[in-house]
Amino acid sequence: MAVKKQSFAEPAVADYEAIAQSASFRGLIQEKKAFIIPATVFFFVFYFSLPVLTAYSKALNAPAVGPISWAWLFAFAQFVMTWALCILYSKRAAKFDEIVEQVKQEAKEGGNA
């Protein structure tokens, strides 16, 4: 009994340079930068302001609610801010995924628009 070799079709090789030069891919990169850079700057400023303010200022030592100082509220707000940024990015990533699908479709069709 002879064994047949199974032949697999060659996978389509994408022209990554053409994809990188396409308008839709560049639009994806622009949109991601427009979201990620300001969000990252905001995160770092918000995150590092707590240790800086507590080390070099007495602004956060004042009581806010009863015996709880502003420093404790600020620290708790950092957890809230982290979750909010994660949720915001997750929702924005859905838009990024739509653009990625558009880029992939254009690459399949051979268009570099």
Q: What is the pLDDT of residues 43-60, one digit of tens each?
A: 999 999 999 999 998 988
pTM: 0.71
Convert the pLDDT of each residue in 6-26 to its tens digit.
Answer: 555 555 566 788 888 888 899
pLDDT at 100 over 50: yes
Convert the pLDDT of each residue in 64-76 to its tens digit.
Answer: 899 999 999 999 9
The model's confidence at residue 113, banded by pLDDT at 50, 70 and 90, is: very low
- R_g over Cα of the chain: 25
What does the mean pLDDT of the chain come to?
86
